[in-house]
């Protein structure tokens, strides 16, 4: 049995939705299957993480031999720190029943510096939350932790025949945010632990949290009764407004009676569905297309609705050819 209750990913889930966290702990197999896109993002993250290790050469990697053996990584991290190792990859720590692993831990002037690598160009609030949890756990384990940084891809980097690792990455200290989030993290850990003491999942309705900061892994469980032509298909309407309509009983596009307040294009969308109409503004499409000049990029789509739209355009205007790619 592992001697931790929360991992970074389960903690992040708990902040997004306590029901998702409960399902993750007790009904893991109800998780939606991982999509190819998501898997590709994970793989990219792993590749970039490995590349970033070159920023701090000479480290020892303490990745576990299996996902169930993180305790070994924690022990190995302790041993290496005690033995004077100055760079550790995938260092792991447990505090307050929370396990975190960190991409790179490096010692400078007798102080530890933490680096979490993101295969992204920008820092998001979700990344800062991840790093805040890491800071909370690691600082409690090694008080000499001086700083925590997010390492992202430098979008201005230009490859000139030889990879320059130092120029490829950017560093940003998020220690200030992590310190500011300290009490929030402690509270949310308490809340997550209390949630799993209850064998029943919290009764949380579908809402904005299902999409933010990540699309939840339990859509298949919670959204199975949401009708096909639901108000969540409304274009130009915020998710907040869609949720409000849905919970007020206006569940499908056919339930919409009052069009006031809906943007003009959304009204067209609803009328098209309600009256089973195809509405194509050929004039506007032609105006737009006349402004597009060769070379024209190819579109690769795996969204059936968009594919339908583009086949309509293709049927009417010969200038374009679209290639459709199904990944399902
Ligand atoms: S789908 Fe929505 S309500 Fe259900 S667990 Fe996920 S975030 Fe929570």
Does 301 score more than 70 pLDDT?
no
Tell me which H or E stretch contains 323.
strand 323-324
Ligand 1 centroid to Cα of residue 223, in Å, is 8
- Identify the band that residue 305 occupies on the pLDDT scale cut at 50, 70 and 90: low
Contact 323, 298 (CB under 8 A): yes
pLDDT of residue 41: 87
List, for residues 51-70, the tens digit of each pLDDT value: 999 999 999 999 998 888 89
pLDDT at 285 over 80: yes
Cα 48 to averaged position of ligand 1 atoms, centre (Å): 30
Instruction: Say which range, 35-39, 57-61, 74-78, 201-205, has the weakest mean pLDDT.
Output: 35-39
Close Cβ partners of 13 (under 8 Å, ≥ 6 residues apart)? 20, 21, 24, 217
pLDDT at 300 over 80: no
Burial of 74 (0-12, 13-18, 19+ CB in 10 A): buried
Q: Report pLDDT for 233.
A: 94
Which residue's CA is the closest to the ligand 1 atom numbered 7? 210
Tell whether the model's pLDDT for residue 149 goes beyond 90.
Answer: yes
Tens digits of per-residue pLDDT, 132-148?
Answer: 999 999 999 999 999 99
The CATH number that domain 6-197 falls under is: 3.90.320.10
Structural Rg of the chain based on CA atoms: 24
Q: Which atom of ligand 1 is nearest to the CA of 16?
A: 7
Please report, rounded to a whole number, the percentage of residues in the chain having pLDDT higher than 70.
Answer: 89
Q: Which atom of ligand 1 is nearest to the CA of 20?
A: 5
Please state, rounded to an integer, the average pLDDT across all residues of the chain: 90
Pick the residue whose CA is nearest to atom 1 on ligand 1.
219
Q: Where are the domains of the chain?
A: 6-197, 226-279, 281-328
Cα of 162 vs centre of ligand 1, distance in Å, is 45
Percent share of the chain, pLDDT over 90: 76
């Amino acid at each position: 049995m592992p001697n931790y209750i929360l991992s970074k990913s389960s903690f992040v889930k708990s902040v997004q939705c306590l029901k998702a966290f409960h399902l993750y702990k007790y009904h893991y197999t109800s998780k939606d299957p991982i999509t190819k896109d998501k898997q590709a993002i994970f793989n990219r993250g792993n590749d970039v993480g490995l590349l970033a290790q070159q920023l701090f050469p000479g480290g020892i990697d303490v990745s576990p031999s299996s996902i169930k053996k993180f305790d070994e990584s924690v022990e190995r991290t302790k041993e290496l720190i005690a033995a004077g190792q100055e760079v550790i990859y995938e260092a792991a720590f447990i505090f307050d029943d929370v396990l975190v692993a960190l991409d790179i831990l490096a010692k400078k002037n007798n102080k530890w510096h933490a680096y979490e690598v993101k295969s992204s160009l920008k820092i998001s609030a979700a990344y800062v939350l991840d790093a805040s949890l890491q800071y909370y756990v690691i600082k409690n384990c090694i008080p000499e932790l001086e700083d925590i940084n997010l390492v992202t891809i430098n979008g201005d980097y230009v490859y000139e025949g030889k990879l320059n690792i130092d120029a490829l990455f950017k560093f940003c200290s998020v220690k200030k945010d992590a310190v500011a989030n300290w009490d929030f993290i402690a509270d949310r850990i308490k809340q997550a632990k209390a949630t799993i003491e209850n064998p029943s999942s919290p009764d949380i309705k579908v809402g904005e949290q299902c999409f933010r900061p990540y699309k939840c892994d339990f859509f298949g469980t919670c959204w199975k009764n949401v009708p096909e032509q639901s108000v969540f298909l409304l274009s130009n309407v915020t998710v907040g407004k869609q949720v409000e309509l849905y919970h007020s009983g206006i569940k499908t596009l056919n339930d919409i009676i009052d069009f006031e307040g809906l943007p003009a294009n959304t009204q067209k969308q609803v009328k098209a569905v309600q009256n089973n109409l195809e509405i194509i503004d050929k004039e506007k499409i032609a105006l737009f297309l006349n402004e597009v000049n060769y070379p024209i990029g190819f579109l690769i789509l795996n969204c059936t609705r968009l594919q339908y739209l583009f086949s309509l355009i293709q049927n009417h205007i010969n200038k374009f050819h679209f290639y459709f790619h199904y990944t399902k």
